Amino acid sequence: MMTTRLRANKVDENDTQQKAKKASQLLKAGTVGLTKRAALGELGNRALVKTNDVQKENVNCLKNAKARVDSHWKKTEFLSSAANKVVLAKAPKQPTVPLKTTISEIKVLKPRVVTKPKAVEKQASQPQPVSLQQIIAPVRREESNVSRRSLSKLKAVLCKEKKEKPKAVAVIAPHVSAPIVVPSSEQPKSIEVNCKITAHSSSLIDEVENIDAGDSKNLLLVSEYANDIYSYLFQLELQMPVRKAHLDKQAEVTPKMRAVLLDWINEVHFQFRLLPETYHLTVALIDRYLQEVPTTQRQYLQLVGIGALFLASKYEELYPPEIGDFVYIADDTYSKHEILAIEQKIIKTIDYNLGRPSSIHFLRRFSKAASTVEDTHMLAKYLIELVSIDYTLAHHRPSEVAAASLFLALKLFNKDTKITDDQLWTNTLKFYTGYTADNLRPLVKKIATLLKNAPTAQLKAVFNKYQSSKFDKIALKSELNASRLEKLIS
């Protein structure tokens, strides 16, 4: 049975007529017939399997197959000459329209050149005067970006026939309040003025030393902006003050409790080996919080001090202590959750303003202006910490405390008795501190009283700290004897 089917379906491949008939039937039906995928094509591309009666047998030709990007196959004619004849015979003929013109009859159009007479060309070459109306008239508001004001200025300039006489120019010389009138005939083409930033009178310029003159090569000292930075710090201390007698509204907290708390914080600060800025910021945070929250209970006062120290350490220290250290230092009186809660309450109470300058910031600047030695600067630091514990002096500005502490240190280490206070407090110090000797004398006497009573006081954390060799044993210096301090107080 298999052989009979093969014989019945067998096609004579040499018969040209059968091939032509089969091709025409395939084209009429629109079917693809026997197909297989192209070697370089996609799975969806199909091709007809046809033969050519002239060329070799069984030649595969492609039709309606999309070539791949990397292939070189193109669509070619796949039908034989006989098949082409069949298709062309059945296709309707389209009427052909003869061309009226040929390529030879097409003329190339050239641009038309309009020639002008020679007389007109000469007139055009010469510049002609243009009136103001011809300039302004064509200009419209929607067609030009020139404003009406610019046009009026242009009109005013063009209408000027005579030049105005030069007027005298007033030049303000540096350090002179009244302007100097310079005639226009004597004015140079370019006037170069050496501008100096001065905030003081001209008579004081020669006596004030520029303490930042030698710091221009050190970029970390920012000598160009030092005066502006400290001017800003002077403004900040006025914006964030500590009021006088700020504990009067407290129901339970007293000035003595505040002193005990700050004395204990000073010991903790020394044990943790923190920066001086951290301690002074802690004191400022405690005072600013207590003056805004008058309902602070006595049992939570130490918690306020721990939270303030923890917050200041985060702000000032490179490696602040962990919260577990503060829990341990308080002998597990308060938990971590309570410390974090009071820290959030403190920072909300002060409205997130942690940039209040401290006395140590101003002291460094003032000591540089005074050209002090190390002992004088260390004694001033000792006096500042003594002031921080005293409640009666908490309302003084940090710059005032720094200036008064430095003034007292200069007086104690001054061995020349002939030098007066005005000579000791030079014009350079007056300029950079903003205080005179008369302004500082009342506060200097109060600080001298604290220094005299420090060895016999009940709270000796600051005195004991400055007895150590780390602080050059400044609290044990012979210059701090009681008799000399009595003279300064009286």
DSSP assignments along 408-474, one per residue:
HHHHHS---TT--HHHHS-HHHHHHH---HHHHHHHHHHHHHHHHHGGG-S--HHHHHTTSGGGTTG
CATH of region 235-489 = 1.10.472.10
Distances 472 to 231, 272, 368 between C-alpha atoms, Å: 32, 19, 20
Please state the rounded mean pLDDT for residues 313-325. 95
Report d(CA 325, CA 309) in Å as an integer: 12
CB 255 within 8 A of CB 286: no
> What is the reported pLDDT for 417?
81
Q: Where are the domains of the chain?
A: 39-88, 235-489
CB 443 within 8 A of CB 401: yes
> What is the reported pLDDT for 333?
93
Report the length, in residues, of the chain. 490
Closest among 479, 408, 412 to 447, alpha carbons compared: 408
Q: What six digits make up the tokens of 287?
A: 């005072």
> What is the reported pLDDT for 484?
87
Q: At 480, is the secondary structure helix, strand, or coil?
A: helix
Please state the rounded mean pLDDT for residues 453-472. 94
The tokens 């030698």 sit on which residue?
Answer: 214
Please state the rounded mean pLDDT for residues 314-330. 95
Report d(CA 393, CA 132) in Å as an integer: 77
Q: How does pLDDT run across 177-222, given as a tens digit for each residue?
A: 344 344 444 444 433 333 333 444 444 456 799 999 889 889 989 9
CB 338 within 8 A of CB 316: no
> What is the reported pLDDT for 419?
87
CB 74 within 8 A of CB 41: no
Q: Which amino acid is at 331?
A: D
Query: Any idea what DSSP says for residue 479?
Result: G
Query: Any idea what DSSP says for residue 153?
Result: H
Does position 335 have pLDDT exceeding 90, yes or no? yes
Report d(CA 369, CA 430) in Å as an integer: 10
